[in-house]
Amino acid sequence: MPPLLIWAWRRCGDAHIPTGWTVIDEFAARFVYFYSGYWFAASVFALSDRARARPVLAARRPGAVGRWSMAAW
């Protein structure tokens, strides 16, 4: 399945399958957060590398990171 389809399916919450096992149910309920971390990790690390390469520019625009993170979500 394409990653966007998996993420959208879980984001909508249509995939809740109660099993009666707490660990599995809680993981399934929070799968979107784990998958988002996996899916967006390359973008986050690239942003971090750019900020470390240009610390003065990154310090001047602290709101840019917040806007980017909200847009990514």
What digits encode the pLDDT tens for the residues 15-48? 567 788 888 888 877 887 888 888 888 988 888 8
3-state secondary structure of 41: helix
Span between the terminal Cα atoms of the chain, in Å: 20
Alpha carbon distance 12, 9 (integer Å) = 5
Neighbour tally for 32: CB within 10 Å: 19
pLDDT, residue 60, reads 72
Q: Choose among 6, 1, 7, 5: nearest CA to 72.
A: 7
pLDDT, residue 70, reads 66
Residue-range definition of the domain harbouring residue 28:
3-72
pLDDT, residue 18, reads 78
What digits encode the pLDDT tens for the residues 44-72? 888 888 878 887 777 777 676 667 666 65
Instruction: Quote the number of domains for the chain.
Output: 1
pLDDT, residue 16, reads 66
